[in-house]
């Protein structure tokens, strides 16, 4: 059996106010403009958000070089405090290394930092130990794209 006790924990400071960083995660147009690691994109027409407790976050990442490679997501919002906290989960099916029905949780905390910046604290998991590095690289790459969006 695969060890799924691992959790990714990351902190990133963005040079933008908390409300703008929050909007980048909750507004479908903005989300589609930055989400996904370099080499992947999220077509706007695949994004469907209902940002409320019990609501959903659905989208599909598409590989830029081979559009037949896709990664759909269908999450449910469990906790929301506007401009402060987003918690959601997805029950995975058909993912190698994870038992069907495993609940993968994503927790995002948004904190004010001096100078109008925002500190984002991210926790995601559980997932197989060998996924952690890839997840961390994927988020880091996505956050580089988010930095560019927030600078506009």
Q: What is the dihedral of CA 67, 70, 74, 80, to 10 degrees?
A: -80
Domain that holds residue 100: 6-34+77-151
Q: Over 50: is that where the pLDDT of 105 sits?
A: yes
The mean pLDDT of 114-135, rounded to a whole number, is 91
| Cα–Cα distance, 64 to 8 (Å, whole number) | 26
Tokens of 90: 């997805």
- Note the pLDDT tens digit of each residue in 6-52: 899 999 999 999 999 999 999 999 999 999 999 999 999 999 999 99
User: Predicted confidence band at 4 (pLDDT cuts at 50, 70, 90)?
Assistant: very low
Span between the terminal Cα atoms of the chain, in Å: 46
Based on the structure, what is the number of domains in the chain? 1
Judge whether 63 and 39 are in contact, CB under 8 Å: yes
Tell me the CATH number at 129.
3.30.530.20
State the pLDDT confidence band at 126, using cuts at 50, 70 and 90. confident
**Residue 61 counted as domain residue:** no
Query: Of all residues in the chain, what percent carry a pLDDT higher than 90?
Result: 81
């Amino acid at each position: 059996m695969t060890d799924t006790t691992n959790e990714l924990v990351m902190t990133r400071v963005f040079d933008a106010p908390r409300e703008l960083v929050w909007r980048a995660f909750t507004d479908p147009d903005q989300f589609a403009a930055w989400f996904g690691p370099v080499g992947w994109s999220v077509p706007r027409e695949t994004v469907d958000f209902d940002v409320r407790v019990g609501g959903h976050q659905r989208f599909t990442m598409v590989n830029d070089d081979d559009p037949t490679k896709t990664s759909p997501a269908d999450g449910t919002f469990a906790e929301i405090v506007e401009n402060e906290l987003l918690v959601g989960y997805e029950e995975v099916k058909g993912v190698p290394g994870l038992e069907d029905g495993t609940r993968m949780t994503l927790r995002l905390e948004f904190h004010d930092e001096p100078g109008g910046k925002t500190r984002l604290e991210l926790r995601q998991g559980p997932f197989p130990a060998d996924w952690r590095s890839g997840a961390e690289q994927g988020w880091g790459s996505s956050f580089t794209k988010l930095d560019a969006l927030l600078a506009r």
